[in-house]
Amino acid sequence: MAEVTIMKIGSILIIPIQTELHNSAAVQVQQDIISNIEQAGVRGLLIDVSKLAVVDSFLGRLIGDTAAMARVMGCQTVVVGLQPEVAITLMELGMHLEGVYTALNTETGLELLNKVIGNRAGEIETEPSAGDEGV
């Protein structure tokens, strides 16, 4: 089974997915993420898929479902590093990752996530721009 590192920095979990995940490994990662959100009480989740050349419909749906579960638990999600081919494939499959923010890289993803969780705490009054949410 593939090992995926889960890092906690402040109130954010960072999950860099470095290798292709088979379905059972992907489901285990999802369970680990949700458990960590509950245990750590984080408000932000950053999933880095920049090393993935392929995201199939199962993994795309799993990412969207994980973000929805996280949101129900009070945690916002940003997915970073979507390769152009992956973004095209997800769109062709009709997957829009509703409620998931996206960014080009980890740095901009962290900035966006801090802004989003700041909004939830009432620290920033702006709404996300049209280009900030979803794929």
CATH number of the domain to which 19 belongs: 3.30.750.24
131 is a domain residue: no
Each residue of 1-31: pLDDT tens digit? 457 899 999 999 999 998 888 899 999 999 9
Q: How far is CA 92 from CA 14, 62, 96, 115, 133, in A?
A: 28, 17, 10, 30, 18
Residue 79's pLDDT is 95
65 is a domain residue: yes
96 is a domain residue: yes
Look up residue 128 and give its two tokens: 């996300």
For residue 114, name the pLDDT band (cuts at 50, 70, 90). Answer: very high
> What is the tally of structural domains in the chain?
1
134 is a domain residue: no
Of 28, 19, 90, 84, the closest CA to residue 48 belongs to 19
**How far, in Å, CA of 9 to CA of 20, rounded?**
24
Structural domain for 42, as ranges: 7-120
Residue 77, pLDDT above cutoff 50: yes
128 is a domain residue: no
Residue 122, pLDDT above cutoff 50: no
Look up residue 67 and give its two tokens: 């973000």
- The pLDDT mean for the chain works out to 85
For residue 90, name the pLDDT band (cuts at 50, 70, 90). Answer: confident
135 is a domain residue: no
Distant-in-sequence, close-in-space partners of 82: CB < 8 Å, separation ≥ 6: 49, 50, 55, 90, 102, 135
81 is a domain residue: yes
Q: What is the pTM of this model?
A: 0.82
